[in-house]
Amino acid sequence: NSIWVSTDHDEIEKVAKQFGAQVHRRSPEVSQDSSTSLEAIREFLNHHHEVDIVGNIQATSPCLHPSDLIKVADLIQKEGFDSVFSVVRRHQFRWSEVKKGENKMTEPQNLNPAKRYRRQDWPGELYENGSFYFARRHLIEKGYLQGGKMAYYEMRAEHSVDIDIDIDWPIAEQRVLSFGYFGKEPLKEVKLLVCNVDGCLTNGRIYVTEDQKEMVSYDYRDIVGIDLLKKRGIQVRLISERDCSKTLSAMKLGCIAKVSATNKLKVLEDWQKEMGLSRKEVAYLGNEESDVECLKKAGMSGVPADACALAQKAAGYICKSSGGCGAVREFAEHIFLLLEKVNSARKQ
């Protein structure tokens, strides 16, 4: 019936409202590092007596699909369950832990080593994946997220992603691009990448010789990235606030470029109109405050790792590489992953 974001952070509140959610301002008492989801939910219910059922969606599970939530809501509303939680099937053999110094052997937990079968022939076991917990009000008020007439909802393995530690991030990024939900609007292929020159294609440094000639450095991997984009039918255009036409000419990239651009957004919109593209067919790689509006308008946006804070906030993807050190190539690969997602959706 309603979608709420529980937070004590002004910026999160602002973003949540931009996307149409209502906001519950969480109190300091339930906003500690040690606070549990259940504590935050119980506080929410104390302020919202009209709520009978809560679906707690975990932000650390980014591959959740609306179709799953609809089916789970039906289990409670139409089939009379008191609580429903998400699980995923895993095919892992478990062994008992032997702590250091203990004089005993490990024991099998869910297999017979004498009759060991192939894992792919084994139905596996169900594990909570932490993606969501649905429960009726009376259970939550008693301090439970699970109880009463319970049911589990088995999610597909490719949709089951839980971000707990740093190494989970790159895995989640790949899963979201391959299996994530991108809304009802059909995905579009990227047909144009606009890249800021200074700080993206180059590292932003300008070297001046004694005879006052300017030199810049770039990473050959980025040139390869541009070539790969072109081979995939994606046009690459360059933009710069300064007159770097001599530098671009020397690099021999074969890309249309706009230098001395005082209004990057207008240039971007003019190119988009000229090529007859929708917003979702345009990608933008920027790094400065002057790129922020372009990053917001583009269907896909990215920044190098050393981009300014405002640009990072506006971007959808932050590269691990810095400007002039492979960021263009990395963002190109990010685009290729999206194209795989588009092609997969078409086949389905």
Rg (CA), the chain: 26
Q: Looking at 25, 90, 94, 116, which residue is catalytic?
A: 116
User: For residues 84 and 134, what is the distance between their CA atoms, to the nearest angstrom?
Assistant: 5
116 is catalytic: yes
Q: Say which amino acid occupies 31.
A: S
User: For residues 198 and 202, what is the distance between their CA atoms, to the nearest angstrom?
Assistant: 5
Q: 233: exposed, middle or buried (C-beta count within 10 Å: 0-12, 13-18, 19+)?
A: exposed
Helix axes 168-179, 327-347, angle to 10 degrees: 40
Q: What angle do CA 212, 257, 222 make, to 5 degrees?
A: 80
Q: Say which amino acid occupies 82.
A: D
List residues with catalytic annotation: 116
